[in-house]
Structure 1
Amino acid sequence: MTLNGVRIIKKIRFILLLLCIGVFCYSAYQLISYFYDGYKNEKDYQEIREVYDFEELSKADKEGIEDLAALRKERFAALKEINADVVAWVHVPNTNIDYPVVQGDDNSYYLDHTVEGYTSRVGAIFMDYRNKLSDESVPTDYNTIIYGHHLKSGAMFTSLKEFKDEAFFNINRYIYIDTPEGTLIYEIFSVIITEADYNYIETYFQSGEDFLSFVSDIQKRALFNRDTIIREEDKILTLSTCTYEYEDARLAVFAKLIEK
């Protein structure tokens, strides 16, 4: 091989080395950035939980505190000072799910914006933009949908994966949605893993019959079902997140409103 050929090979190797270093540095930056976003997001949420302490309000409710309604409204007012888009608080016992729920003008913004409004891949827990709450903060739609990311850190809606275990599903029955007017209690009746293009996130139905057909189809697809009777006049809640059994898979937990 000529001297010129050796020089060319060395240059190629050097360029390839630089490319490898560049790819490594970029990947390392992305990984560090991902975990930092998760850490910062959870730290911010911990501060928000000090503003709105669901466990404290729940305890006060059980003890029959007279000024509970005023206290709840006061706490929600504080949440709205953080972000006027806050509409509720979601709590799922025996999981890490204990978060404010925001609602934007679409289902895209809060995929990559936090509850405090800054850009982050961890996003926020958010209600479907099509859903509506009445003045009494109760759902007016058949199906209220709340979305959250599945993160490696275990935050946001990652804990929904626990409902893929039948024993966990059998023991844990309820989801609590706090609103300025009080607590909505939902009883979990089904959990599914499905393709992203399956329309389990429909909010409006032409009739009660269509709604019951929708629920029946969910129950047929479910990993587990509970013997919960769903009637035409009922309201349901859907918690939705990603799952990784296959590409573009979704995990959804469905619950019926039983108390408001």
Structure 2
Amino acid sequence: MANDTNFSERESSNGFLRFIRFFVPAKGDSGTEKVRKAIFAASVIIFAVSVGQLKGYINTHKGEHDNIHGVVEQYEPKSDDNIRYEVNTGTEGVEIGAADLTVRKREVRDWAKDYLEANDDVVGYIKIPGLNDSYDEEMIDFPVVQGKDNDYYLYKDLYGNYYESGSIFADGWGRINEEGQADNLTIFGHHMGWVGTSFTHLSEYEQGVDFLKKYPIIEFNSIYESGCKYAIVSCFMINTDANDDNGKLWEYIGYRDFNDTEYRFDDWYSEISKRSWYANDAIKCTENDKYITLSTCSKLVEEGVRWVIVAKKLTPDDNIDLIKSSYTERADKDIYFPQVWKDIYGNKTVYNGWQY
């Protein structure tokens, strides 16, 4: 029995040594054998680094996800009832009269109360119903804030803390108050690439008309409204630097309230139509309608290009089923692309996945 045990131990030891010698360079190895072992060692190192990076990505993605949905769940809208809610105006200690006090009070919906208690810069809420992530939660589902400019919330969360994904925020010069909102309100959000947070998944509308038909409706309510739905009327790429389009720059953000001078509705509608990747003859757009414009970066071009989605607020005359069935893809040759896009992809639409 003792001899058998010693034999087994020697076999085990020899097997381990053979395993080591098979992968670790040793004196007497041929040149080919040394190359093979070196390649194997490099592969192990690359694999280990990749696993570490993947783990880092997963942890980052989960952290971003938990941050966003923690806020959403904490302040989930509960009711559409009207309430009177006094917003902090930063005038503590200032004596005001009855008329001024009335101005400081805003008529808001009940669902907005907790958001305003967290941050009185909250002006609304946006979501795309049914567009869910791997956690089965809606990917575009956020409170909307409005800062003093269009930089303040680029890297801040709802509480004002640093946050790489930033907040979803309305144009700082876009009117949105108890009297109503701008004819066209622009709402911004980052494209976060593989992390997938903020407005990243708006890029999925690049993939074709079938996706648009599946998710054509955007819900956006200011803190004074509820039940408002918007149908997408245009999706397009646009440059933000005139040098990227042969000196041409259309400032889509400037069209806040349509008027008869500098910001005419006809000019605006013509621009969003000629640039759009899709068309729909069932959506009737007039200067008396209300619109939202969602703006995010495109990862398909290094910098300076935005992916923009314009949607019209639905009226009782709009038929959602008819709108869904009426979307069509426009021919590439009929779409206006900025030169910086054409230099890379030519005059055609491209979709490389929502990460880009």
Tell me which interval the TM-score lies in, with the shorter structure as reference length: 0.7 to 0.9
Deviation of the 1:123 alpha carbon: 0.8
- Tell me whether 1:83 sits opposite 2:119 in the alignment: yes
Q: Secondary structure at the match of 2:176?
A: coil
Runs of 4+ aligned residues of structure 1 deviating over 6 Å after TM superposition are: 34-37
- Tell me whether 1:50 sits opposite 2:76 in the alignment: no
Q: Percent identity?
A: 30
Q: Secondary structure at the match of 1:193?
A: strand
Instruction: Say which structure, 1 or 2, has more relative contact order (CA 8 Å, 6+ apart).
Output: 1
Q: What residue number does 2:327 align with? A: none
C-alpha separation in 1, matches of 2:116 and 2:302: 37
Q: What residue number does 2:271 align with? A: 217
Check the 8 A contact 1:110/1:123 in 2, yes or no.
yes
Amino acid at match of 1:147: F
Amino acid at match of 1:192: F
Unpaired runs of at least 5, structure 1:
1-27, 62-67
C-alpha separation in 1, matches of 2:264 and 2:110: 39
Check the 8 A contact 2:165/2:197 in 1, yes or no.
no
Q: What residue number does 1:230 align with? A: 285
Q: What residue number does 1:148 align with? A: 189
Deviation of the 1:205 alpha carbon: 3.6
C-alpha separation in 1, matches of 2:225 and 2:297: 29
Check the 8 A contact 1:192/1:223 in 2, yes or no.
yes
Check the 8 A contact 2:60/2:195 in 1, yes or no.
no
Amino acid at match of 1:102: V
1:142 to 1:255, Cα distance in 2 relative to 1, 3 A: same
- The number of residue pairs the alignment matches comes to 220
- Tell me whether 1:189 sits opposite 2:241 in the alignment: no
CA offsets, 1:125-173, max 9 Å, x none? 000001112315x31x221000001112211101101111221112322
Amino acid at match of 1:255: A
Q: What residue number does 2:311 align with? A: 255
1:122 to 1:36, Cα distance in 2 relative to 1, 3 A: farther
Amino acid at match of 1:182: E
Unpaired runs of at least 5, structure 2:
1-51, 84-107, 132-138, 242-249, 317-356
Q: What residue number does 1:108 align with? A: 151
Name which of 152, 164, 178 aligns with 1:135.
Answer: 178
TM-score, L = length of structure 1? 0.74
1:117 to 1:106, Cα distance in 2 relative to 1, 3 A: same
Check the 8 A contact 1:92/1:98 in 2, yes or no.
yes
Name which of 129, 145, 158 aligns with 2:200.
Answer: 158
